[in-house]
Each structure stands twice: as C-alpha cells, then as structure tokens.
Amino acid sequence: MEEVLTLVIDGTEPPSAATVRAVLAACDTAEDRAGTGALVVQVGGAPAEGWTSGLDVTKVSKWERALRRLERLARPTVAVASGDCGGAALDAFLACDIRLITPGTRLLVSTDAAATWPGMAGYRLVQLAGAARVRRALLFGLPIEAPEALAAGLADELTDDPAGALAAAARLVGELAGAEIAIRRQLLFDAATTSFEEALGPHLAACDRMLREPERVAS
C-alpha cells in the first residue's frame, strides 16, 4: 500500500503559528516525497469561550493561507472527525477531499461574544452544502449533527470503524497521481463559478496532458 501521511489538528486550540507550521510541514512532506498515497487529517475538539482573545487578523490570514495550500495539495486528503469539531478542526476538515465522521460527531461554527466566527469555514460550508442547509449553523452557531452532515454532503461517510474507513479511502486514492488530483480538484472548484466557454480551455488542457503521457504515447 502507498505511504499514508498523518496530520492532527486540535480544535480546542485557536489557530497559531505552531498550527500553521504543522499544516505547512505536512504539505511539504507530502509534496517532497515522490509517489502516491493520501494525507490523513485527524480532527476533533472545539474552542472554548474567549478563544479569539489572542488572535489578530495577521494570524488568521496565515492560517487561511495554510488551509488553502492543504486544499490544493498535490495529494488526496482524507479527514476523519470525532466528537465536537469546531475552530481549526472544522476548518481543516472542510478543506479535505474525503471527509469521514464518527457517530456523535458535531460540526460547530464557533461563537465568541456577540456572534459566530466569520472565517472561511462558513464559505466552505455553503460551497459544499448550500446556504439553506447551513444557515442556522452560520447565523446562530447551532451544531450540525453527524446524520445531518452526511445528508448535506459535508461528510462522505458516517462510520463507527474509522480505521477501516480510512483504509478503504486510502485504497480508493492509492494509485491516483497527486498532480492529476490537484488539477481535477481545481476543475471541480471552477465548475461552480465559470461558464462553459471559460471552463473549456482548462479542461482541454487537462485532456491534452493525459494524452501526452509517455505510456499512452508508447501504446
């Protein structure tokens, strides 16, 4: 089986320089090591009241940029969430390609003082599930329970055997080329916001890339 790399994100802690370094280091390792295989992101925990007291917009920006790199990684990413999942844990969970949850998991948009946190988790929630399905979570901080997350497409599988589900996900993506995964992911992202005419060029370029692979030319 191809190599599986692991990243752990603790949602009880606010995004910090250490959290950013951990994500970037995992991305560096995934990109530096040749071959295929998934990056597994294990997430859980939600921040307590007052969690934003040490944050500033510079720290938040660095965290969001690290997440964007994870989201565009040239390897498949598989997240598994357990228990309450909010803050940095929810951010990382939503940025992954395959998302697994265990029974009892709750996705939480963190609140602080007067309102819910307006980070990019809200953007990703709407992109994945649509505004109507996540409206109460984004506006009022109501938890998204595991069955609801599965029905809304925020999770791909609800499992009481996360190790088995991770192994199955690893087999699913084990032979896929990381660079090609990154291209398909970007085509997927762009499909929601671009016209057919704008999308045609990138899709044709991706087709041409596949057709020019040495093994295909040799055949």
Query: What residue spans of 33-119 are helical by DSSP H?
Result: 57-71, 87-94
Supply the pLDDT for residue 144: 98
Cβ contacts of residue 134 below 8 Å, gap of 6+? 122, 125, 126, 144, 152, 154
Asked whether 66 and 23 are in contact (CB, 8 A), the reply is: yes
Supply the pLDDT for residue 1: 45
In the block, tokens 């190599």 appear at 3
Supply the pLDDT for residue 215: 58
Domain ranges of the chain: 5-173, 178-218
In the block, tokens 């649509």 appear at 130
Distances (CA, A) of 104 to 101, 141, 158, 191: 8, 17, 10, 33
Domain 5-173 matching CATH 3.90.226.10: the answer reads yes
N- to C-terminal Cα distance for the chain? 27
Supply the pLDDT for residue 45: 97
Indicate the pTM of the whole model. 0.89
Residues 177, 112: Cα–Cα separation, whole Å: 41
| Low pLDDT (below 70) residues in the chain | 1-3, 34-36, 175, 177, 214-219
